[in-house]
Amino acid sequence: MGDLFLRNITLDGKQVDIMIAGGKISKITPAGLQFPEPITEEILDCTGKTASPAFVNMHTHAAMSLLRGVGADLVLSDWLDHIWSIEAHIDEPFVLRASRVAALEMIKTGTATFNDMYWHSPMTRLAAAEAGLGCLISYTFLDNFNEETAEKQKDECQIIHETSRGWGAREKFAVSIHSVYTVSEPLILWVTEYARKNGLRIHLHVAETEQEVIDCKANHGGLSPVEYFDSLGVLGPDVIAAHALWLSEKDVEILGARGVSCVHNINSNLKLASGIRFLCKELKDAGANICLGTDGCASSNNLDILEAMKTTAIVSKGWRRDPTSLPLQDLLDMATVNGGKALGVKTGRIEEGWDADIQIIDTDNTFFLSPAPFLANLVYSAHSDCVSSLVSGGRLVMRDRTVPGEEEILEGGREALSFIANIRNNS
Q: How far apart are CA 300 and CA 306, in angstroms?
A: 13
| pLDDT at 423 exceeding the cut of 90 | no
3-state helix, strand, coil in the chain (%, to 5): 45, 20, 35
Domains 4-48+352-380+389-400 and 55-343 share a fold: no
pLDDT digits (tens, 9 = 90+) for 96-141: 999 999 999 999 999 999 999 999 999 999 999 999 999 999 999 9
DSSP letter for 119, please. S
Residue 379 binned pLDDT confidence (cut-offs 50, 70, 90) = very high
Inform me whether the pLDDT recorded for 268 exceeds 80.
yes
Give the 3-state secondary structure of residue 43: strand
Confidence class for position 1, pLDDT limits 50, 70, 90: very low
pLDDT in tens, 71-100: 888 888 888 888 888 888 899 999 999 999
DSSP letter assigned to residue 321: T
Based on C-alpha coordinates, what's the Rg of the chain? 21
What's the first-to-final CA gap in the chain, in angstroms? Answer: 59
Is the pLDDT at 248 greater than 90? The verdict is: yes
CATH homologous superfamily of 55-343 equals Metal-dependent hydrolases (3.20.20.140)
Which one-letter amino acid corresponds to residue 229?
Answer: F
CATH class entry, domain 4-48+352-380+389-400: mainly beta
- pLDDT value at 38 more than 60: no
Predicted confidence at residue 70, as pLDDT, reads 86
Number of H helices, E strands in the chain: 16, 16
For residues 405-422, give the mean pLDDT. Answer: 90
Q: What is the pTM of this model?
A: 0.96
How far apart CA 309 and CA 266 sit, in angstroms, is 9
Q: Which phi-psi region, left, alpha or beta, contains residue 173 (left: φ > 0; alpha: ψ -120 to 50)?
A: beta
pLDDT tens figures, 282-337: 999 999 999 999 999 999 999 999 999 999 999 999 999 999 999 999 999 999 99
Give the separation between CA 118 and CA 126, rounded to whole angstroms.
13
- Residue 40's pLDDT band, with cuts at 50, 70 and 90, is low
- Domain parsing of the chain, residue ranges: 4-48+352-380+389-400, 55-343
Q: Which amino acid is at 147?
A: E
Nearest partner of 294 among 43, 62, 17, 9, judged by Cα: 62
Distance CA 97, CA 90 (A): 11
> Quick check: 421 pLDDT over 90?
no
The angle at the Cα of 258, spanning 254 to 259, to the nearest 5 degrees, equals: 115
Mean of all residue pLDDT scores within the chain: 95
Q: Are 294 and 312 in contact (CB under 8 A)?
A: no
